[in-house]
Amino acid sequence: MTRQERGEHVLKRLGELYPDPPVPLNHDDAFTLLVAVLLSAQCTDVRVNQVTPTLFQLGRTPQSLAAVPVEKIEAIVRPCGLGPQKARAIKELSRLLMAEHGGRVPAALDALEKLPGVGHKTAQVVMSQAFGVASFPVDTHIHRLAQRWELTSGKSVLQTERDLKRLFPQAAWNKLHLQMIYYGREHCTARGCDGTVCEICRACFPKRQRPKLTRKA
């Protein structure tokens, strides 16, 4: 298969496996999604979904969370790891949303990336899942799969993002990034597949016999 043919196979098969992939982080609006994605850094979505209900009892809006002492926020988000940093980021971004954005999450990538604790991937997730803007956030699962399927060199997460955006139609980006995450969690896992085991790896590379080494995100 050529790279283009592999991309077409991936798009078709993932569409069959996950025709309507749900957003894995529970949220009600752009703000609660933003906070949940921030907490998901180096943490599982399952753990974040366990923590956010208690956190949002303190406040579900920038105005309410900005008024909560950072120590109270940290006590709740500690199970997500990096508790002090994440707590400070949540409080400060809440304050900045009130001071600079009228209490609303901005629907602009550059504005999101200026908020504390919000990197490029987090901002793209919010643009995609909260505002429906075509984006292709690349997490560890997508970075791994794109290399195993030789859709990118994997030199960096940004390179993987650029390569996937060039390969796949823009209309597919928002759904495809979720489909790849689910497939990476359930089938082409970090330890359960080495590029020769799962269905898509075998279909794309039927003659591959050696493990496919991948760069970490």
Looking at residue 172, what DSSP letter applies?
G
Question: How many CA atoms lie within 13 Å of 14's alpha carbon, on the beta-carbon side?
Answer: 28
- Per-residue tokens: 113: 């990336």
Looking at the chain, list the stretches that DSSP marks H as alpha helix, in order from N- to C-terminal side. 3-17, 30-39, 45-58, 62-66, 70-77, 83-100, 109-113, 120-129, 140-148, 157-167, 173-186, 199-204
Residue of 86, 121, 163, 194 with catalytic role = 121
Question: Cα–Cα distance between 182 and 193 in angstroms, integer?
Answer: 14
Say whether 28 is catalytic.
no
- Per-residue tokens: 124: 């793209």
Say whether 121 is catalytic.
yes
Residue of 139, 165, 175, 212 with catalytic role = 139
Do 188 and 142 meet the contact criterion of CB atoms below 8 Å apart?
no
Q: Which residues are catalytic?
A: 121, 139
